[in-house]
Amino acid sequence: MEPAVPLAPEPPEVLDELYHLFRDYFDKAEKKRRWSIREDVPWDQCNRSLNPAIADVVETFCSVELYLPDYLSKLIPQVRQNRGRAWMLANWGYEECKHSMVLEDWLLRSGARTEEQVSDMHAEVYEHEWNLPYGNARGMLVYTTFQELATKVHYARLREAVRREGGDAALERVLQLVAVDEAAHADFFRRLLEVYLRYDREGTLEQIRKVTNTFRMPAVYSLAGSMHRVSEINRLDVFNENLFIETTYNPILAKLGVSRKELRQKHFKETLVPLAGPNARP
């Protein structure tokens, strides 16, 4: 659906600024954040008697990461004339593919899943195609910013849950490495949003308003047993609607310098609906 406030075209100076933000992000990632699945995880320290609910949540998160071909194949065409964003998606895809692999490795090495169960997980994921929740690149940038920070919180809080359940040095390290990547993604995409807000505040605010009114995590709801998966995430105190507001919604709006009041101003016809809940619709 077309935005009610037409989005301003992206002038060359904006495209340049986005590309420079990507170069800063990339240079920093190359220097400080690259890690190796093989070398940087103490794989001999898996806890084989961890609460099985933890492995269920790891499997859910791994499945969401496995939708990567859909994420990339649908997001890149939206930004192919925007080098900063297109190059970021290429780099982001590299980082995200490590996440599904490292989580899958833990499922196997810990004995939580057999090879056969892991191939069933792949089959289940590829049965359903993920589609873009928003049809314009600006809306998807807003969505990605919120989703990346929420994902970081999911991983960081799952790590705390692992510790509470008796610990697993390998999984804790995996979750730490992945959470740091997710935080870097959220920070980068938010910086892009700051640029868009500066040169097209109304158009960008409309997208922020639309996304925050309808946000839900990607792909979880198309997986088999999705309600059970979500209730396990809630039960382990990994994530819920209040945490979305406290850890994701409020901090991002504060950093963007957007108040709830400004977001509520009635330029648009949408109505407020619950955030991040299973019944929210994109």
Strand, coil or helix: what is 83?
helix
One-letter amino acid of 16: D
Distance of alpha carbon 252 from alpha carbon 246, whole angstroms: 10
Residue closer to Fe ion, measured from CB, 7 or 102:
102
Amino acid letter, residue 10: E
State both tokens at 268: 């648009």
The correct pick among 17, 56, 96, 105 for binding Fe ion (CB under 5 A) is 96
Q: Write the interaction track for Fe ion spanning residues 42-71; mark x where CB under 5 A is met and - where it is not.
A: ------------------------------
Residue 185 CB, shortest distance to Fe ion, in Å, is: 4
190 interacts with Fe ion by CB under 5 A: no
Single out the segment in contact with Fe ion by CB under 5 A; choices: 10-18, 77-85, 96-104, 243-251.
96-104
Under a CB-based contact definition with an 8 Å cutoff, are residues 197 and 206 in contact? no
Residue listed under structure tokens 């070398």 = 39
Q: Indicate the residue among 63 and 204 with the shorter CB distance to Fe ion.
A: 63
Q: Which is nearer to Fe ion, 81 or 94 (CB)?
A: 94
Supply the angle between the helices 52-66 and 115-127 in degrees, to the nearest 10.
40
Closer by beta carbon to Fe ion, 134 or else 155? 155
Question: From CA 116, how far away is CA 86, in angstroms rounded?
Answer: 36
Nearest-approach distance from CB 151 to Fe ion, in angstroms: 6
Binding residues for Fe ion, rule CB under 5 A, total 5
**Backbone angle region of 134, left / alpha / beta, with phi > 0 → left and psi within -120 to 50 → alpha:** beta
The span of 38-46, 112-120, 183-191, 254-262 binding Fe ion (CB under 5 A) equals 183-191
Q: How far apart are CA 166 and CA 168, in angstroms?
A: 7
99 contributes a contact to Fe ion by CB under 5 A: yes
What are the residues whose beta carbons fall under 8 Å from the beta carbon of 139, sequence distance 6 or more? 3, 207, 210, 211
| Interface residue with Fe ion, options 56, 172, 182, 232 (CB under 5 A) | 182
The CB-of-148 to Fe ion minimum distance in angstroms stands at 5
Measured CA to CA, the distance from residue 177 to residue 43 in angstroms comes to: 14
Tell me the Cα Rg of the chain: 19
Nearer to Fe ion, 67 or 134 (CB): 67
Query: Does 185 sit near Fe ion (CB under 5 A)?
Result: yes
The nearest distance, CB 147 to Fe ion, in angstroms, is 8
Residues near Fe ion (CB under 5 A) are 96, 99, 148, 182, 185
